[in-house]
C-alpha cells in the first residue's frame, strides 16, 4: 500500500552511524508467532495446577447477609471455596491508583466482595478445583442471601444530590469535577458572528483483545516466594500491588509477563483476579490458575460519556470560542486506573486548533455498572470526535468548506511549543503540511463527483478529521509516576543484551529498541537481544502504557548504550593508538574517523576489556553493564500560574479522510475509501508504526459503527460474546492509504513520539463526519456513537438520538 514520509529527520537518530533507524526491520521472533511456537499465559499452566472459577454478583448493589458454601465445598474435585470474609483474613485491601483520601468516602477494595457488592459481575466467591469444569459446576451449589440496595445506573441521575449512592458509605457519586478556562468564553460567544450548539453521547465500549486474561500463581513454601505469570502490561506495578495486598516484601514476589495476544489497555494493573490467584496459591501451597471467559472479558467497561458543546466563529471562519460540558459514567471504582480516562478527555481540547477562548467543565460520576478498564484512546478519542463534530457544524452554519475552516484555525508550525488550556505543552507539529499531504493521497474530486450522482437510496458521505493524541502519561502519585529504565550489557563475545522495564503487548517494540541500540554500536539488530516482562531480570518501570515503549524505554536504552560505547572507545583508542573521540562504530567494526583502514572488530575490543582489565583496558570502567533511566523534560508536576500541570510529554497527531455509503432504507454503512497522514516524530521502524496506525484506524471504524456494550436495566452486561459485540471484519474495511510526516519532538533525545493510539480517535471522528455528510441536513443532528443502523434510521425519521 502507498507509503510516504515527509518532513525532517528521516535518517539515523542523533548522529548514530548504524543506519537501522528508519528501516522496516522484521519483528524479532516473528517466526515463533506465525508458526504457533510462542507461549502465551495459558500455555504456562503446568500439570497439577488448580483452577479457580469465580461466582460473581447478580445484583448491581446489595449487602451480603449470608453465604452458604457447604455443598460447594463437598462437590467433586473441589479443593477449597473462599469467600470475601476468608480473603479479608488473609490479605489487605488492594491499593487504589489515586490516594484513598481523594474519594468521597471509605474506599477499601477487596479482591472478593466482603460486605457490599457494587456491580453485576463483581467477584464474590472463589471456587478452587482440580479441573476447570469442576470449579464451574460447584458454583451453582453456593447459596447467598442479599439485602438489595437502590442501584445507580445512570450518571445524570447519579450526579443529583437526591440520588442514592453507588457505595453505601459515600456521600456523593460525583468522584471528580474540574473547570478548565482560557480567555473569556461568554464575551467571545456574545461577539461571535454565529454560534452553534450540539451534543454527543458515546456508548460503552471495550477493547476485546484476541486473548482474554489469564493468571497463574505459584507459591513456593520452601523459598517463601510467589511467582505470578500472566497477561500483564505492567509487571513491576503489579508486583507492588501484590506486595501491598499480600503484605509481602517485593523481593518475595516475581511477576512474569509472557507473550500476549493484544491488550489495548485492558491488561493494566489492578484486576482483582491478580490477587485472588496469588492468595489462593499461598494459602493452598499449590499453583492456581484463572482463565477468563469471553463473557467475563466483556465486563470491561469504558468510554460512556455525554458531551454538550458550543462553538462560536466570525464570518471569515475564525473560531473564537469553544465550550464543553462532559459527564463520564465510569461505573464502579476499583483498584484499576481505567476510570482515569475520564480525567484525560477534557485536557485535550481544543486539540489542533488555536482557539483563544475555551471553557471545559467535566464531571466524573461513579455508578453501579462494571468498572472502566483501560481501552485504546484512553479518553482522548472522545475529545477529538467532539471537537471535529463542532468544527463540521460551525462550517455548515457559515456555509464554508470544512477543510478551509480547519486550515484557518490550525495551530501554525511557528506556534510550537503550544500550551493547551489544560496546561499540556504540545511539543511540535505541522498540521497544515499534513493537510496538504492528505490532499495528495485522497481523491476528493472523484468522490465529490460520485456523491453528486443519484444512487437510489444510497448516499455518499465524505468526512475529514484531525486528531491530537497525547502520549507518555506521567501522572503524579501513580506507581510509577512516569519514567522507564533500561540496562544494557555487553557479553565477552560482543553480543548485546538489553533488559528494559517496558513490555510488549505484541506490537514489536522490542524490535525498535534493538534497532536503536544496534545503531549506537554499529551492529546488526540481530546481535541485540531484548528482555522484557520479568521483574527478577528487568529494572523497575511502568511497563506498557500510553505508547511509552520507545519514547521512554528506547531512550533509556540508547543512553545506556552510549555510555557503554564511550567505554569501549577508550579501549579501542588504545589498541589503534588514536584519540577516543575519533572512534566510529559502524558495520561491526570500530575505526578511526577518516581512516577506515585503521580499525578492529567490535568483539575484539570487548574481549580485550574482559581479558586485559589491568593493562590495555585499565582505564575502562567495569563491568560492561550500564543502567539508565529516562524522564521527559516536557512533564511538569508543579502547577503553573493557572494551577495546571502537564502530564503528557509528546503529542502525535493525524488527519483523516473517509468515504462512506449509507443505505437510507436499512441504516447500514459501508466504508468505501480511507486515507490518513500521521506524524509521530522520528519513525524508528516504519513497518511496525504503520501496522499500529492501521490497526488503530480499524478499531476506530469499529467503534464508530458497531462496537457497543449494552447493559440491561438491572445493570447486567447484555453483550457477552463476539456475536453481539460486533467487530469489523477484513471485508468491512477498504485498503488504507497512509502517509507519514516527521516533526521531531524537541523534548525527546531521539525526536520520537508515541505511536500506539493515534488513528483511533481520528477514525471515529472521520467516519461520524462522513455519515453526517451523507445524511445531509438530518446529519447535522448526529449525536450518538456508535452510528448503528437504528441511530441512522432514527435521524432519517426526524428523531434526535
- Of 630, 657, 685, which one is at a domain's C-terminal end? 630
pLDDT of 716-759, one tens digit each?
A: 999 999 999 999 999 999 999 999 999 999 999 999 999 999 99
| 3-state SS track over 744-790 | CCCCCCCCECCCCCCCHHHHHHHHHHHHHHHHHHHHHHCCEECCCHH
CATH number (domain holding residue 719): 3.30.365.10
pLDDT of res. 18? 60
For the record, the C-alpha cell of 206 comes out as 471495550
For residues 626 and 672, membership in a common domain is answered with no
Q: Say if strands 123-129 and 50-56 run parallel, antiparallel, or are unpaired.
A: antiparallel
pLDDT of 382-400, one tens digit each?
A: 999 999 999 999 999 999 9
For residues 612 and 667, membership in a common domain is answered with no
For residues 547 and 621, membership in a common domain is answered with yes
For residue 431, is it within any domain? yes
For residues 655 and 782, membership in a common domain is answered with yes
Instruction: Share the mean pLDDT of the chain.
Output: 95
Flag whether pLDDT at 2 surpasses 70: no
Number of domains making up the chain: 2
What is the DSSP track for 259-284? B-S--TTTTSS--HHHHHHHHHHHHH
For residues 753 and 726, membership in a common domain is answered with yes
pLDDT of res. 16? 56
- Of 630, 656, 680, which one is at a domain's C-terminal end? 630
Spatial distance between the Cα atoms of 59 and 370, rounded to a whole number of angstroms: 11
For residue 651, is it within any domain? yes
pTM: 0.95
For residues 498 and 522, membership in a common domain is answered with yes
- Of 599, 630, 661, which one is at a domain's C-terminal end? 630
Average pLDDT, integer, range 762-769:
98
pLDDT of 317-355, one tens digit each?
A: 999 999 999 999 999 999 999 999 999 999 999 999 999
For residues 585 and 668, membership in a common domain is answered with no
Q: Say if strands 305-313 and 319-329 run parallel, antiparallel, or are unpaired.
A: antiparallel
For residues 695 and 754, membership in a common domain is answered with yes
| Helix, strand and coil in the chain, % to nearest 5 | 30, 25, 45
Containing structural domain, residue 651? 426-474+647-801
pLDDT of 555-600, one tens digit each?
A: 999 999 999 999 999 999 999 999 999 999 999 999 999 999 999 9
Spatial distance between the Cα atoms of 273 and 213, rounded to a whole number of angstroms: 9
For residues 437 and 514, membership in a common domain is answered with no
pLDDT of 690-700, one tens digit each?
A: 999 999 999 99
Flag whether pLDDT at 8 surpasses 80: no
pLDDT of 250-278, one tens digit each?
A: 999 999 999 999 899 999 999 999 999 99
Q: Do residues 168 and 116 touch, judged by C-beta distance below 8 A? A: yes
Spatial distance between the Cα atoms of 423 and 643, rounded to a whole number of angstroms: 8
pLDDT of res. 6? 44
According to DSSP, residue 413 is labeled G
pLDDT of res. 478? 85
For residues 608 and 667, membership in a common domain is answered with no
Average pLDDT, integer, range 784-790:
97
pLDDT of 90-125, one tens digit each?
A: 999 999 988 788 899 989 999 999 999 999 999 999
Amino acid at each position: 500500500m502507498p507509503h510516504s514520509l515527509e518532513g525532517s529527520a528521516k535518517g539515523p537518530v542523533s548522529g548514530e552511524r548504524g543506519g537501522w533507524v528508519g528501516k522496516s526491520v522484521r519483528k524479532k521472533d516473528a517466526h515463533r508467532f506465525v508458526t504457533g511456537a510462542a507461549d502465551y499465559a495459558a500455555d504456562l499452566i503446568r500439570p497439577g495446577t488448580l483452577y479457580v472459577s469465580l461466582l460473581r454478583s447478580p445484583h448491581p448493589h446489595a449487602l451480603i447477609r449470608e453465604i452458604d458454601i457447604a455443598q460447594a465445598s463437598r462437590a467433586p474435585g473441589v479443593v477449597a471455596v473462599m469467600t470475601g470474609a476468608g480473603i479479608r483474613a488473609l490479605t489487605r485491601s488492594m491499593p487504589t491508583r489515586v490516594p484513598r483520601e481523594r474519594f468521597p468516602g471509605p474506599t477499601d477494595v477487596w479482591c472478593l466482595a466482603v460486605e457490599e457488592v457494587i456491580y453485576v459481575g463483581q467477584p464474590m466467591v472463589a471456587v478452587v478445583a482440580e479441573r476447570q469444569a469442576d470449579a464451574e459446576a460447584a458454583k451453582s451449589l453456593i447459596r447467598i442471601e442479599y439485602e438489595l440496595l437502590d442501584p445507580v445506573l445512570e450518571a445524570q441521575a447519579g450526579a443529583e444530590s437526591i440520588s442514592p449512592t453507588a457505595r453505601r458509605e459515600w456521600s456523593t457519586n460525583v468522584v471528580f469535577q474540574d473547570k478548565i478556562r482560557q480567555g473569556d468564553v461568554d464575551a467571545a460567544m456574545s461577539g461571535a458572528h454565529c454560534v452553534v450548539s450540539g451534543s454527543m453521547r458515546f456508548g460503552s465500549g471495550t477493547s476485546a483483545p484476541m486473548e482474554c486474561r489469564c493468571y497463574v500463581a505459584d507459591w513456593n513454601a520452601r523459598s517463601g516466594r510467589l511467582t505470578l505469570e500472566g497477561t500483564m502490561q505492567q509487571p513491576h506495578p503489579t508486583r507492588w500491588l501484590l506486595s501491598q495486598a499480600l503484605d509481602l516484601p517485593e523481593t518475595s514476589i516475581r511477576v512474569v509477563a509472557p507473550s500476549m495476544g493484544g491488550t489495548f489497555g485492558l491488561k493494566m494493573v489492578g484486576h482483582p483476579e491478580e490477587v485472588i490467584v496469588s492468595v489462593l496459591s499461598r494459602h493452598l501451597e499449590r499453583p492456581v490458575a484463572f482463565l477468563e471467559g469471553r463473557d467475563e472479558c466483556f465486563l470491561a467497561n469504558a468510554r460512556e460519556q455525554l458531551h454538550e458543546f458550543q462553538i462560536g466563529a466570525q464570518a471569515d471562519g475564525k473560531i473564537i470560542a469553544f465550550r464543553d460540558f462532559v459527564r463520564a459514567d465510569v461505573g464502579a471504582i476499583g483498584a484499576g486506573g481505567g476510570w482515569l480516562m475520564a480525567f484525560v478527555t477534557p485536557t485535550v481540547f481544543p486539540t489542533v486548533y488555536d482557539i483563544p477562548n475555551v471553557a471545559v467543565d467535566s464531571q466524573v460520576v461513579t455508578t453501579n455498572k462494571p468498572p472502566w478498564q483501560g481501552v485504546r484512546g484512553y479518553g482522548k478519542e472522545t475529545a477529538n470526535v467532539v471537537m471535529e463534530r463542532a468544527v463540521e457544524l460551525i462550517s455548515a452554519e457559515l456555509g464554508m468548506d470544512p477543510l478551509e475552516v480547519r486550515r484557518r484555525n490550525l495551530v501554525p508550525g511557528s506556534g510550537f511549543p503550544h500550551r493547551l488550556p489544560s496546561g499540556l505543552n504540545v511539543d511540535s507539529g505541522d498540521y497544515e503540511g499534513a493537510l496538504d499531504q492528505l490532499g495528495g493521497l485522497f481523491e476528493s474530486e472523484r468522490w465529490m463527483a460520485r456523491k453528486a450522482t443519484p444512487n437510489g437510496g444510497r448516499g455518499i458521505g465524505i468526512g475529514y478529521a484531525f486528531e491530537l493524541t497525547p502520549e507518555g502519561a506521567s501522572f503524579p502519585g501513580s506507581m510509577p509516576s512516569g519514567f522507564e529504565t533500561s540496562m544494557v550489557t555487553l557479553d565477552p563475545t560482543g553480543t548485546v543484551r538489553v533488559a528494559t522495564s517496558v513490555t510488549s503487548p505484541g506490537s514489536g517494540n522490542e524490535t525498535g529498541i534493538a534497532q536503536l541500540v544496534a545503531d549506537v554500536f554499529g551492529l546488526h539488530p540481530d546481535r541485540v537481544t531484548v528482555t522484557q516482562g520479568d521483574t527478577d531480570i528487568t529494572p523497575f518501570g511502568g511497563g506498557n502504557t500510553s505508547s511509552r515503549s520507545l519514547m521512554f524505554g528506547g531512550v533509556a536504552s540508547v543512553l545506556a548504550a552510549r555510555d557503554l560505547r564511550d567505554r569501549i572507545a577508550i579501549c579501542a583508542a588504545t589498541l589503534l593508538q588514536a584519540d577516543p573521540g575519533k572512534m566510529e562504530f559502524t558495520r561491526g567494526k570500530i575505526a578511526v574517523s577518516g581512516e577506515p583502514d585503521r580499525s578492529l572488530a567490535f568483539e575484539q575490543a570487548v574481549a580485550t576489556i574482559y581479558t586485559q582489565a589491568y593493562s590495555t583496558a585499565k582505564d575502562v570502567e567495569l563491568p560492561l553493564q550500564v543502567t539508565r533511566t529516562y524522564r521527559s523534560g516536557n512533564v511538569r508536576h508543579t502547577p503553573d500560574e493557572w494551577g495546571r500541570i502537564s502530564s503528557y510529554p509528546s503529542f502525535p497527531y493525524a488527519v483523516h479522510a473517509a468515504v462512506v455509503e449509507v443505505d437510507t432504507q436499512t441504516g447500514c454503512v459501508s466504508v468505501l475509501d480511507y486515507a490518513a497522514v500521521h506524524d509521530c516524530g522520528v519513525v524508528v521502524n516504519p513497518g511496525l508504526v504503520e501496522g499500529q496506525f492501521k490497526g488503530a484506524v480499524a478499531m476506530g471504524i469499529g467503534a464508530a459503527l458497531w462496537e457497543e456494550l449494552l447493559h440491561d436495566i438491572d445493570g447486567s452486561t447484555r453483550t457477552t460474546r463476539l456475536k453481539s459485540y460486533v467487530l469489523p471484519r477484513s471485508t468491512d474495511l477498504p485498503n488504507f492509504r497512509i502517509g507519514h510526516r516527521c516533526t521531531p519532538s524537541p523534548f525527546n533525545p531521539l525526536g520520537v513520539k508515541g505511536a500506539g493510539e493515534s488513528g483511533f480517535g481520528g477514525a471515529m471522528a472521520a467516519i461520524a463526519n462522513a455519515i453526517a455528510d451523507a445524511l445531509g441536513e438530518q446529519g447535522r443532528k448526529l449525536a450518538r456513537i456508535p452510528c448503528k443502523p437504528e441511530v441512522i434510521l432514527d435521524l432519517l425519521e426526524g428523531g434526535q438520538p
